[in-house]
């Protein structure tokens, strides 16, 4: 009986961990959110671990949190981002940990006012 309970508990914990990892982006945990409008990026040549040539894109932009507080943010992407698209940046102590494109109506009003220069 004890073996069955241990096995069942282990299975439940394993399934819960798999569901958590599939549905939660760990880069978002504990991160502050800032909103930016994609500026012109700078194409930079980089070398991959196997010595191949690749490119990344570097961006610097003023971002705004939900209260409208401003922060200058540097971030990179492995592809050229759509100019003037809106992004939600997830920012931790070491800088931007991830980003995602958002629609204008998903941006908090105070941040949107700052992005639109009002």
- The Cβ-side half-sphere exposure at 103, using a 13 Å CA radius, reads 2
For residue 94, give the 3-state DSSP assignment: coil
pLDDT in tens, 55-101: 899 999 999 999 999 999 999 998 899 999 999 999 988 888 889 99
pLDDT in tens, 3-30: 777 877 787 777 766 666 566 566 656 6
Phi-psi region of 33 (alpha: psi -120 to 50; beta: other; left: phi over 0): beta
In terms of Cβ atoms closer than 10 Å to its own Cβ (0-12, 13-18, 19+), residue 20 is exposed
């Amino acid at each position: 009986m004890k073996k069955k309970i241990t096995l069942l508990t282990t299975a439940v914990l394993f399934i819960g961990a798999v569901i958590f990892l599939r549905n939660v982006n760990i880069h978002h945990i504990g991160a502050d959110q800032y909103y930016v409008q994609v500026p012109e990026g700078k194409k930079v040549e980089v070398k991959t671990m196997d010595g191949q040539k690749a490119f990344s894109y570097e961006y610097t932009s003023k971002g705004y949190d939900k209260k409208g507080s401003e922060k200058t943010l540097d971030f990179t992407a492995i592809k050229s981002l759509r100019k003037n698209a809106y992004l939600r940046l997830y920012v931790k102590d070491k800088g931007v940990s991830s980003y995602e494109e958002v629609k204008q109506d998903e941006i908090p009003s105070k941040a949107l006012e700052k992005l639109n220069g009002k």
